[in-house]
Amino acid sequence: MKMKNIIKASIALTILFSSGGCKKFLEEDLKTALAPTNTYTSTYGFEVGSTGLYALTRSEYNTYGEGGAYIHNGAAPYEALQAATDIADVINSDASLMAFANLTLTPSERFVGTYWNWAYSLISSANLMLVYADKNTNWDLPTDKARFQAEARFFRAYAYRTLVYLYGDVPYVETILYDFKLNFERTPKAEVIAHMVDDLKFAVDHLPTNPDASTLKEGKLTKWAASHLLSEIYLLQGNYPEAEKAALAVINSGYYNLMKTRFGVNKDKPGDVFSDMFLENNQNRKSGNKESIWVLQFQFNVIGGGTNSDDWTRRAWIPNYSSISGFVLADTLGGRGIAQLVPMKWWMGTNRTNATGNVAGIFNTNDIRNSNYNIKRDWYYNNAGDAALYGKKAAITEQTWFTTKTLFPAITKFFYGRTENLSLTGSYKDRMKFRLAETYLLLAEAYLGQNNPSKAADAVNEVRRRAGAGDVAAAQMNMDYLLDERIRELVGEESRRFTLVRTKKYVERVKAYNTAIKDKVNENHALWPIPQAIRDSNRDAPFPQNPGYGN
pLDDT in tens, 411-426: 999 998 888 878 877 7
pLDDT higher than 70, residue 280: yes
Whether residue 246 is found in the same domain as residue 358? no
Whether residue 71 is found in the same domain as residue 152? yes
Whether residue 278 is found in the same domain as residue 415? no
The phi, psi pair for 187, rounded to 5°, reads: -75, 135
Q: Is residue 34 part of a domain?
A: yes
State the Cα torsion 276-282-283-286 to the nearest 10°: -130
Nearest to 15 by CA among 89, 144, 118: 118
Q: Is residue 326 part of a domain?
A: yes
Ramachandran quadrant class, 362 (left: phi over 0; alpha: psi -120 to 50; beta: rest) = alpha
Instruction: Single out the residue in 381, 401, 422 at which a domain terminates.
Output: 422
User: What CATH code is carried by the domain that includes residue 22?
Assistant: 1.25.40.390
Computed from CA positions of residues 77, 81, 87, 90, in that sequence, does the dihedral angle turn out positive or negative?
positive
Which pLDDT score, from 0 to 100, does residue 300 have?
77
Q: Is residue 65 part of a domain?
A: yes
Whether residue 247 is found in the same domain as residue 349? no
Q: What is the largest CA-CA distance in the chain?
A: 75
How many angstroms separate the CA atoms of 359 and 397, rounded? 13
pLDDT tens by residue, 486-542:
999 999 999 999 999 999 999 999 999 999 999 999 999 999 999 999 999 999 999
Q: Is residue 440 part of a domain?
A: no
The chain-wide mean pLDDT, for the chain, equals 90
Which pLDDT score, from 0 to 100, does residue 426 have?
78
Domain count, the chain: 2
Whether residue 304 is found in the same domain as residue 320? no
Nearest to 60 by CA among 115, 4, 12, 2: 115
pLDDT higher than 90, residue 452: yes
pLDDT tens by residue, 238-268:
999 999 999 999 999 999 999 999 999 899 9
Q: Is residue 465 part of a domain?
A: no
Q: Is residue 429 part of a domain?
A: no
Q: How confident is the model at residue 105 (pLDDT cuts 50, 70, 90)?
A: very high
Whether residue 120 is found in the same domain as residue 258? yes
User: Could you give the C-alpha distances from 387 to 100, 325, 330, 396, in angstroms and in order?
Assistant: 43, 12, 17, 20
Whether residue 205 is found in the same domain as residue 107? yes
pLDDT higher than 50, residue 9: no
Which pLDDT score, from 0 to 100, does residue 179 have?
72
Q: Is residue 340 part of a domain?
A: yes
Burial of 253 (0-12, 13-18, 19+ CB in 10 A): middle
The phi, psi pair for 162, rounded to 5°, reads: -60, -45
Whether residue 32 is found in the same domain as residue 171? yes
User: 456-459: long-range contacts at Cβ-Cβ below 8 A with a sequence spacing of 24 or more?
Assistant: 456/482
Whether residue 119 is found in the same domain as residue 188? yes
> Domain containing 134: what range?
3-310+531-536
Instruction: Single out the residue in 422, 447, 478 at which a domain terminates.
Output: 422
pLDDT higher than 50, residue 21: no
Whether residue 161 is found in the same domain as residue 187? yes
Which pLDDT score, from 0 to 100, does residue 419 have?
83
Q: Is residue 491 part of a domain?
A: no
Q: How confident is the model at residue 126 (pLDDT cuts 50, 70, 90)?
A: very high
Which pLDDT score, from 0 to 100, does residue 34 have?
63
Please report the DSSP string for 153-192 in residue order: HHHHHHHHHHHHHHHSSB----S---S------PBPHHHH
Whether residue 267 is found in the same domain as residue 141? yes
Instruction: Single out the residue in 371, 389, 422 at which a domain terminates.
Output: 422
Q: How confident is the model at residue 353 (pLDDT cuts 50, 70, 90)?
A: low
- 514 within 8 A of 85, measured Cβ to Cβ: yes
How many angstroms separate the CA atoms of 434 and 256, rounded? 12
Q: Which of 147-161, 303-317, 334-348, 534-548 has the lowest mean pLDDT?
A: 303-317
Can you give the pTM of this predicted structure?
0.93
Whether residue 88 is found in the same domain as residue 130? yes
